[in-house]
Amino acid sequence: MAINYQVTQGRNLVQPNGAAVFQARVVMMESISTRELCKKISDRCTVTAADVMGVIRSLVGIVEEHVVNSRIVRLGELGSFRISVSSDMVPQSTRWSASALRRPKMIFTPGPLLKQALKRADMASVGMSDKVKRYVADRDAAIEMSASADAPAPQTNHLNAATEAHAPSDAPDPGRD
């Protein structure tokens, strides 16, 4: 099993009129339902899937009750839940009001075992997004047209490095534990 990713083209937020930028994004392959999760848990212990479902429903209610009261809910090796809130920036404190608040967000911080699992996880490329494929095709067509007209080829603005970087390598990654 591996974390699947795909190279995608994004907006350059630092230089909006600058060269295109490329980045990896996780590709979710499927999900597991609560019912399936409960069945898998019950297969590993002595409680029934219905009991597990009851515990999960109660857990959700208890987490909700505590985080909306500004408490952190710690669930051992699983991790913790907390609320985060931000607001618009106001030039003077006398002008600040509660209307500047944005919607609260739930933050999950993985526990030690989940963090270790992420460190050990393999990465697998599932290719390039359709947008990147079109960009490469357009770039290659422009290079081909300019070459056929004996004109100098346009610069490729670092796309080669981005598309080659997503290809899996047989060489071990020296940064891995």
**pLDDT one-digit tens code per residue, 67-110:** 999 999 999 999 999 999 998 888 877 778 888 889 999 999 99
**The predicted structure's pLDDT at residue 134:** 77
Give the torsion sign (CA, 31, 33, 37, 40).
Answer: negative
**Domain ranges across the chain:** 2-165
**The predicted structure's pLDDT at residue 176:** 43
**The predicted structure's pLDDT at residue 177:** 41
The C-alpha atoms of residue 8 and residue 12 are separated, in whole angstroms, by 12
Topology classification of domain 2-165: HU Protein; Chain A (4.10.520)
Q: Which residues pair with 4 in a beta bridge?
A: 124
| Whether residue 122 has pLDDT greater than 60 | yes
The C-alpha atoms of residue 26 and residue 149 are separated, in whole angstroms, by 41
- Mean pLDDT, the chain, integer: 81
Residue 7 buriedness (CB in 10 A; 0-12 / 13-18 / 19+): buried
